[in-house]
Amino acid sequence: MGQNIPGILIALAFSAALCAQGINIPRNLARLAERATESVDVTLDASMLQLASEFLSKDDADEVKVKKIASKLKGVYVRSFEFDKQGEYLMSDVEAIRSQLRAPGWSRIVSVKSIKGENSEVYLKRDGNRVAGLVVLSAEPKELTVVNIDGPIDPEQLSELSGHMGIPRFGRSKPEGGNTASSK
């Protein structure tokens, strides 16, 4: 029985990491940075988010919104890798993340798959009637990105975080001339 104690401690540490971060971004993803032409690694826990928020302007309305949203979050974790050629990451790397998102409380709300091999998924973690976390998983032939936002967030607020605190820019860009109508 004494030999099981290290195993129990490892399991408890792993469980604590899952609770603290919502999901555990596998450490082996770090090895992908060696092969990537570009990599992003952002790890902001609650205290680091507060510190980063201090650098946002109190006079800019958009930055004030970001500061308010960030004050409620437990963490923001981003891993993104771009490669020169296909096959630099394994589908098992992606599956290691997806398997965690099958846990109770998580729901996949968006799944986009293209014939070009581009797959994007968005998962929400619910705590009762509120969103307690969000994960965006984007696996393209030459790019892999995981964004994990841990903490209460209104999905409508996500566009406010886009481009701040290491979160990649997303959403629709306005065409030149300011016309936002889409054409087919």
- Judged against a pLDDT cut of 70, whether residue 109 lies above it is answered with yes
- Judged against a pLDDT cut of 60, whether residue 40 lies above it is answered with yes
For 38, 56, 133, the CA distances from 63, given in Å and listed in that order, are 27, 6, 21
pTM of the predicted structure, to 2 decimals? 0.72
Under the banding of pLDDT at 50, 70 and 90, the label for residue 157 is low
Least confident residue range of 4-18, 59-73, 90-104, 158-172: 4-18
Q: What is the structure's pLDDT at 24?
A: 82
- Judged against a pLDDT cut of 90, whether residue 69 lies above it is answered with no
Contacts (Cβ under 8 Å, ≥6 apart) of 123: 101, 106, 107, 108, 109, 134, 135, 136, 137
CA distance 78 to 181: 31
- Judged against a pLDDT cut of 60, whether residue 4 lies above it is answered with no
Least confident residue range of 43-57, 75-89, 136-150: 43-57
Four-CA torsion 175, 178, 181, 184, nearest 10 degrees: -30
Of 78, 89, 93, 102, the residue nearest 34 (C-alpha): 89
Q: Is 99 in a helix, a strand, or coil?
A: helix
Q: What is the structure's pLDDT at 111?
A: 92
**Phi, psi for residue 4 in degrees, rounded to 5:** -80, -15
As a whole-number percent, the residues of the chain with pLDDT over 70 amount to: 72
Contacts (Cβ under 8 Å, ≥6 apart) of 122: 108, 109, 110, 134, 135, 136, 137
- Judged against a pLDDT cut of 90, whether residue 17 lies above it is answered with no
- Judged against a pLDDT cut of 80, whether residue 133 lies above it is answered with yes
CA distance 165 to 154: 17
